[in-house]
A = this chain, B = another copy of it.
Amino acid sequence: MVSKNQIKLITSLQQKKYRINNQLFFAEGVKVIQELLQSNFELEHLYTTQFDFEEVPAAKKSLIHENDLKKISALATPNSCLAVFKIPQQKEISNSGLIIALDDIRDPGNLGTILRLCDWFGIKQVVCSKETVDIYNPKVVQATMGSITRVNVSYVDLAEYITQTQLPVFGTFMDGENIYKNILPQEGIIIMGNEANGISEEIEKIIKNRLSIPRFGDLQKTESLNVATATAIILSEFKRNLA
């Protein structure tokens, strides 16, 4: 049984302002929830239609009916479980190795996919502009497939952060240098731009290393790469010599 107040609270967490007010977010699906439980995320409460979470104490979990799960879920086809977690304190930015910086990524699926890529390529730190979609948005949490527990995500004034760094700063542009022919370091900040507008003018001015992903299709027509697939190509290229 889920009370009306619980339904109201959990569905409100689909919106950022209520996540901030309550310092809570939620995740759905056995895999993501188990990864969050096994890492340092503090469970508030688990709602499940089948008891398969022996590690969770009875006071922290409720067996609920599928119809109740539907009422609290953000998914069109709800999974078997939903868990509310406390939003952890923002950790300090780790300024070593390769860092991905996101300049106003708006699509939750893109942010989730980028986190999954960072996890795959061993990137430990993602730095987001304040306008980038919130990492605790349920669609982002879902799309990360658990990578949210292994990559540190920080929200900052991106221009200020890049201006102050000692690390080399990279961005991809149509007129940049061929990424396949450049020696790429294992330390640096790689900026990925907004889905519609790319890297903003303010940030572009600060970028010293302009790279480009060569295009092989019809140069007049092929428009652009999606930001997540561009991130995949760039990370693969930065890392390939170490494999």
Contact = CB atoms under 8 A, between A and B. Distances in A.
Interface of A: 31, 35, 109, 113, 116-122, 145-147, 150, 178, 180-181, 213-218, 221-226, 228-233, 236-237, 239-243
A214 B233 CA distance: 13
Contacts of A217: 118-122, 150
B117 A218 contact: no
Query: How many copies, total?
Result: 2
Contacts of A150: 217-218, 221-222
Nearest to A214: B243
Contacts of A116: 223, 225-226, 229
A113 B145 contact: no
Nearest to A221: B150
A146 B214 contact: no
Q: Which of A119, A121, A229 has the most CB of B within 10 A?
A: A229
A222 B147 contact: yes
A117 B236 CA distance: 15
17 contacts: A113-B226, A116-B225, A117-B225, A118-B217, A120-B215, A120-B216, A122-B216, A146-B223, A214-B243, A216-B243, A228-B228, A229-B229, A229-B232, A230-B232, A232-B236, A233-B233, A233-B236
Nearest to A223: B145
A186 to B, nearest CB: 11
Nearest to A226: B113
Given A116-B225, A150-B221, A150-B222, 15 more contacts: A35-B221, A113-B226, A117-B229, A119-B218, A120-B216, A122-B216, A147-B222, A150-B217, A178-B243, A180-B240, A180-B241, A180-B243, A226-B228, A228-B228, A232-B236
A121 B216 CA distance: 5
Contacts of A230: 232
A237 B233 CA distance: 9
A222 B145 CA distance: 9
A59 to B, nearest CB: 28
Contact of A232 (B121, B224, B232): B232
A127 to B, nearest CB: 18
A109 B17 CA distance: 29
Given A121-B216, A121-B217, A217-B122, A181 B243 contact: yes
